[in-house]
Amino acid sequence: MSAKPYLNLFYSLCLVVIISGIFLSCNKQEAYPEVQVYGHAGMGMHIPMSIYHDNSQEAIDLALSLPTIDGVEMDVRMSKDSTLWLFHENRLDATTNGFGCIADLHDHQIAQLHYKSIHKEQLVVLDAILPKLKVGHTFILDLKHWNVCDSSVQLEAFRTALLKIPVHFRAQLILDSSNPSWLAALSDDFSVVFSTVSFEEGLVQLEQIPKLHGLMMRHYEITALEIQQLKNMGKAIFLFEMRSSKTQRAVLKKLPTGIISDDPRGALVLRD
């Protein structure tokens, strides 16, 4: 019997394998496992992306329930009693049933407040959230150092409140501050990133404060080459302000240390 039919069959099978390999390669989803994904104030800053209000306990619980999430970013303000509360806006009026600023109210007053959202979530103290830290998770605390109702919050008072955080939680916390005068003092006890709109300004602070953990920037204010420069320096870089899948994919390709996502579910699908 001629060997030609067998050769034809062999060549056909090889062709199928090659075509299948090309097809699978072209359709294989890109993955960026080294990029950390954090929920922005829980599940995002915009209700359409989340069924719960930002910085609420419910939103944070939902974000932490995502199997491969690395943690949550949240906004922290200090009350008149020097207690740390989660809240993003400058004033209470727009988003809650309260009035004025967190810094001018006592804890018992803030405890009565709730958001105007459909679920009317209550405002929550940081102490109630810290025990939710699991192995492998990190919380990024965006420190709000100003009080538009009165004056800037004093560093020493805020630092004293932060130092009340139990030591065993601190290794899983990153503090985010846009106030250059706070960076050195806080870096003695915590990992601190400087929130800036200028890469050059960030480099200056990193040079002046060697303990500084890294930078926090909007994704469009830094290039992939600048990100690599920071990594070569042994510094972390976190990027934020991304809401669409297209933007999140583009930011993941830059390979930052982590992204602060307004759609953490979508970001995890793209990353993993």
User: What is the 3 state secondary structure string of 111-138?
Assistant: CCCEECCCCCCECCEHHHHHHHCCCCCE
Domain at 221, CATH number: 3.20.20.190
The total number of structural domains in the chain stands at 2
* Residues 11 and 72 occupy one common structural domain: no
Domain with 12, as residue range(s), is: 1-29
> What's the pLDDT score for residue 2?
53
> What's the pLDDT score for residue 5?
56
* Residues 99 and 211 occupy one common structural domain: yes
* Residues 7 and 120 occupy one common structural domain: no
* Residues 104 and 223 occupy one common structural domain: yes
Tokens read off for 92: 């209470």
Instruction: State the DSSP H helix or E strand holding residue 85, giving kind and residue range, or none if neither.
Output: strand 84-86
* Residues 267 and 141 occupy one common structural domain: yes
> What's the pLDDT score for residue 49?
67
The one-letter code for the residue type at 64 is L
* 251 CB neighbour count, 10 Å cutoff: 24
Q: Partners of 168 in the beta sheet?
A: none
* Residues 71 and 4 occupy one common structural domain: no
> What's the pLDDT score for residue 26?
44
Per-residue pLDDT of 130-149, as tens digits, reads 999 999 999 999 999 988 99
* Residues 44 and 133 occupy one common structural domain: yes
* Residues 100 and 5 occupy one common structural domain: no
> What's the pLDDT score for residue 82?
96
Which among 263, 257, 260 has a CA at the least distance from the CA of 245?
263
* Residues 5 and 70 occupy one common structural domain: no
Q: pLDDT tens digits for the chain (272 residues)?
A: 555 555 555 555 555 455 555 544 444 467 899 999 999 999 998 766 689 999 999 999 999 999 999 999 999 999 999 999 999 999 999 999 999 999 999 999 999 999 999 999 999 999 999 999 999 999 999 999 988 998 678 899 999 999 999 999 999 999 999 999 999 999 999 999 999 999 999 999 999 999 999 999 999 999 999 999 999 999 999 999 998 999 999 999 999 999 999 999 999 999 99
> What's the pLDDT score for residue 66?
97
* Residues 137 and 183 occupy one common structural domain: yes
* Residues 16 and 145 occupy one common structural domain: no
> What's the pLDDT score for residue 15?
52
DSSP assignment letter at 211: T
* Residues 113 and 45 occupy one common structural domain: yes
